[in-house]
Amino acid sequence: MKAPDFIYCRAESLADALRLKAEHGDQARWLAGGQSLLAALAFRLSEPTALIDISRIDALRGITFDAGVVRIGAGTTHTALGVSDIIRRHVPLLAEAVPLIAHAAIRNRGTIGGSLAFADPAAELPACCVALEATLIAVGPKGERRIAANAFFEGVYATALRDDELLTWIEIVAAQADEQQTLVELTRRSGDYAMAGVAAVLRGDAAEITHARLVFFALGDRPVAAAKAAALLVGKPLDEAQVALAATASAQEIDPAGDLNGGPEMKTHLAQVVLSRALRQIMTQAKAKAERTAA
């Protein structure tokens, strides 16, 4: 199907974007990479009167590292995120997530800001941001607002962003020396949205886990933190018994709806599978790191 008719305008700067939005009103939508929005328009799932192209705003692109904080422009493409040395070194979770998002041709245009603002419950980056306790920065006519990632996602395709606000930057505290991050998901075909996935961030050493954040995706209407399962891990060493305990506990913390892939029972089972795999992955990573340090 073809998209409905609309007005297209390209914003050259942040101020320009806000001015265009004020001019075109609440039926105008931001256009970033277009990898979700243009597909939705082709289905006529959405019929905006105007699209304001924010993909050429230089200030919204790029990744910086300063005083222990990584700052990512909302307009940074998935591809740019995946090849960034800053990301690989300080937020390895995101580098691990990128190859799992769609396909190369889509990653070349899709952006982190678009993924967060679109808030597909099965998307990787929203869950990563919640697991990393990222801060999302929005700019609107009334100025700048800082929103904690866990308060940002409000439901299926719903966020805390106001209609006239633009997501501009994502701030993430760099991984600590004793931190392990990983992401595991299950898909029917490579590049598809996940059937079940988890982003995990743990801190600690062989003797004791001191911090754990486990955030599921594709298992609820938004990223779902398995807080009880995470709490079980803290204060103890990570071993097979702990993995089993956390996986069982996590099943009580989700209430997935069935989808094209399977019913709630299957999704709950897959949640435990991905969580167990993620925790084992972290055990392997921690062991390899300890051996490197000892050598």
Partner 1 sequence: MTTHSITVTVNGESVRRAVQARLHLIDFLRGDLGLMGSHVACEHGVCGACTVRVDGAIVRGCLVLAASLDGASVETIEGVSDRGEIRDLQDAFIARNAAQCGFCTPGMLMCAADLLGSNAQPTRAEIREHISGNYCRCTGYQAIVDAIETTALKRVSSDAGGAKP
Ligand X SMILES: Cc1cc2nc3c(=O)[nH]c(=O)nc-3n(C[C@H](O)[C@H](O)[C@H](O)COP(=O)(O)OP(=O)(O)OC[C@H]3O[C@@H](n4cnc5c(N)ncnc54)[C@H](O)[C@@H]3O)c2cc1C
Residue whose CB is less far from partner 1, 35 or 261: 35
Among 38, 148, 158, 288, binds partner 1 (CB under 8 A): 38
Among 59, 69, 105, 244, binds partner 1 (CB under 8 A): 105
Residue 25 is a binding residue for partner 1 (CB under 8 A): no
Beta carbon of residue 45, minimum distance to partner 1 (angstroms, whole number) = 10
Among 134, 137, 167, 218, binds ligand X (CB under 6 A): 167
- CB-based contacts of 16: which residues, under 8 Å, 6+ apart? 57
Looking up tokens 């799992």 gives 100
One-letter amino acid for residue 240 of the chain: E
Name the β-bridge partners of 117.
Answer: none
Residue 197 is a binding residue for ligand X (CB under 6 A): no
Closest-CA residue to 278 (of 201, 225, 207, 223): 201
Residue 291 is a binding residue for partner 1 (CB under 8 A): no
Q: Are 107 and 101 in contact (CB under 8 A)?
A: yes
Q: Which is it for strands 50-53 and 153-155: parallel, antiparallel or unpaired? A: unpaired
Beta carbon of residue 70, minimum distance to ligand X (angstroms, whole number) = 18
Residue 33 is a binding residue for ligand X (CB under 6 A): yes
One-letter amino acid for residue 66 of the chain: D
Q: Are 60 and 16 in contact (CB under 8 A)?
A: no
Closest-CA residue to 235 (of 214, 213, 207, 215): 207
Only one of the segments 154-162, 185-193, 195-203, 278-286 lies at the binding site for partner 1 (rule: CB under 8 A); that segment is 185-193
Among 18, 20, 32, 224, binds ligand X (CB under 6 A): 32
DSSP state for residue 257 in the 8-state scheme: P
One-letter amino acid for residue 142 of the chain: K
Beta carbon of residue 290, minimum distance to ligand X (angstroms, whole number) = 33
Residue 152 is a binding residue for ligand X (CB under 6 A): no
Rounded Cα gap, residues 74 and 144, in angstroms: 14
Number of residues that bind ligand X (CB under 6 A): 30
Among 15, 59, 69, 104, binds partner 1 (CB under 8 A): 104
Q: What element of type H or E holds 40?
A: helix 37-42
The site partner of 123 among partner 1, ligand X, none (C-beta below 5 to 8 Å per kind) is ligand X
Kindly state the tokens that stand for 243: 């993995």
Give φ, ψ of 56 to 5 degrees.
-100, 10
The site partner of 115 among ligand X, partner 1, none (C-beta below 5 to 8 Å per kind) is ligand X
Residue 191 is a binding residue for partner 1 (CB under 8 A): yes
Residue whose CB is less far from partner 1, 2 or 142: 2
Among 19, 34, 62, 289, binds partner 1 (CB under 8 A): 34
Residue whose CB is less far from partner 1, 41 or 247: 41
Beta carbon of residue 56, minimum distance to ligand X (angstroms, whole number) = 13
Kindly state the tokens that stand for 39: 């597909």
Q: Are 216 and 224 in contact (CB under 8 A)?
A: yes
Contacting positions for partner 1 (CB under 8 A): 1-8, 10, 31, 34-35, 38-39, 41-43, 51, 53, 55, 79, 99, 102-106, 108-109, 189-191
